[in-house]
Structure 1
Amino acid sequence: MTTKTEVKKFLNYLSNTWEQVVQNEEKSIDKATELIFDSCKDGGRFYIFGSGHSHMVAEEIYIRAGGLAYVKGILPPEVMLHQMPNKSTYMERLDGYAKNMLSLYKVEAGDSIMVVSNSGRNNIPVEMCIEAKKLGANVIALTSMEHTQSVSSRHESGKNIYEIADVTIDNHAPKGDAAYRIEGVEADLGPTSDFTGIGIAQSVIIGVISRLKEAELEIPVFKSSNLDGADEYNDRLFNQYYGYWK
């Protein structure tokens, strides 16, 4: 098989995976947008958290062109990948960390939070869901149902995030995430959780903005800082939505 043919085959693999999201997740995405809209219109915020590679989904909708200013990313560097290999993997299995993060970021009753975790089994994302619900926040899980239903929780509750959340959105990634095969290559390839996760996260933002428009409420959306005149516009949103903590 030529390189060109293999690339085309993988592109079709991506397309088929995304089609599963399109066919199956519209209702769950709509439920999530309803919860987030209710938070925004009542003066709350939409928080998003992911560790390891899942942090990229959180970062995708936080302070960027087309991004909604109600979004607050919970992005502590300790659970990202840029500092040291495997650090985020070990950190994600600690107890007590998520509860402190929710306190630091001032998550409150009436807010909404999306927790992104492909396996949905590790201590921090599970604790994030449990403690956010205790605070009275709406909890949305973005996870792989194929993966999470095939593994046990590492948290003392015995639950994975989909068992705690008010709404669960399936990213339709396979167990282990990387599952594309090339003959003669030992390891699985082509993980899809961030590919579909980013599309889902952006779909949620579009849904929330649509609801804000229907309700005739302010729609605070950032412009690209590389467009002329955008800096002044964006600075106003930064000052209004990020110049203080609730």
Structure 2
Amino acid sequence: MPISKEGVSMGELLSSVFSTGEAIVGRIKETQRDVIERAAVYMGEAFLRHKKLFVSGSGHSHTFTEEMYGRAGGLAFVVPILTPELTMTDHPTKSSYIERLDGYASILGELYRIGTGDVVVVASNSGRNAYPVELALYAHEHGATTIAITSVAHSSQTSSRAASGKKLMDVADVVIDNCGQLGDACFDVPGVATPMMPTSSIANAFIAQALSVLTAAYIAQHGVEPPVFESLNADPTINRNDEYYQMYTRLY
């Protein structure tokens, strides 16, 4: 078995990686059940009342949006606010600059026509930058319910970069804590100076799927079949997926 120079085996490190991930999910399970259920009710009610469910995030938090949108077994009525400027596909630090710009969120709020009765889910690990804060504020000002996915510990230990001086967890109606720590990365690797293993990746994927399942269940409990995407790689009715896209997410 390979051994590092500090005497820790690869097997021991791998076990620690798994244990760390399991611990994060465990903390979410223990502490966030009520808020996840409450968020799912808001999301389900938006669909039942023929309102919109928007999801957005910037930087690496944009992956939360992708986890919620266009996935086999995922809710088909999610409307992603996922512009290239918010992702890392163009330049690794471009989204870092964009998410600090005052006013950008309001532009997208107008373009996507966020309005009364809608639900806006905003993912931001630090919750300190202008974009997530201003998107939540815009949504609230226009009568929408806001749900934050953030690290309360990280956000509590940093200052706001938004003009309002607020953080995402200060302005959202529902706050789901991904139970991460300051800096996100939490794992000390022997011989490596900088911590590794950002836990928000694991946490956000779990939270996204928990929200999707509970929202679908809530809708079904009200006698309506929720629209759910089928896999394009398992001989699905592709036209059904296309119909969902046209009906719910190709409107902007």
Q: TM-score if structure 1 supplies the norm length?
A: 0.97
Distance 1:191 1:88 in 2: 18
User: Match for residue 195 of structure 1?
Assistant: 202
User: Are residue 180 (structure 1) and residue 187 (structure 2) matched?
Assistant: yes
CA contact (8 A) 2:54 2:80 kept: yes
User: Match for residue 141 of structure 2?
Assistant: 134
User: Are residue 59 (structure 1) and residue 66 (structure 2) matched?
Assistant: yes
Distance 2:157 2:104 in 1: 25
Out of 86, 92, 105, the position equivalent to 1:98 is 105
Out of 205, 210, 213, the position equivalent to 2:212 is 205
Deviations 1:194-236 (A, max 9, x none): 2101110111111111111110013111100112142122122
Out of 213, 225, 228, the position equivalent to 2:235 is 228
* Range 231-240 or range 86-95, more displaced: 231-240
1:67 shift after superposition: 1.4
Q: Which runs of 5+ in 1 are unaligned?
A: none
1:61 shift after superposition: 1.1
Out of 83, 93, 101, the position equivalent to 2:90 is 83
**Percent sequence identity over matched residues?**
36
* Range 110-119 or range 228-237, more displaced: 228-237
In structure 2, what residue type is equivalent to 1:13?
Answer: T
1:107 shift after superposition: 1.3
Q: Which runs of 5+ in 2 are unaligned?
A: 1-7
Q: TM-score if structure 2 supplies the norm length?
A: 0.94
Out of 130, 154, 157, the position equivalent to 2:161 is 154
User: Match for residue 68 of structure 1?
Assistant: 75
1:243 shift after superposition: 4.6
Distance 1:72 1:243, change over 3 A: closer
**CA root-mean-square deviation:** 1.1
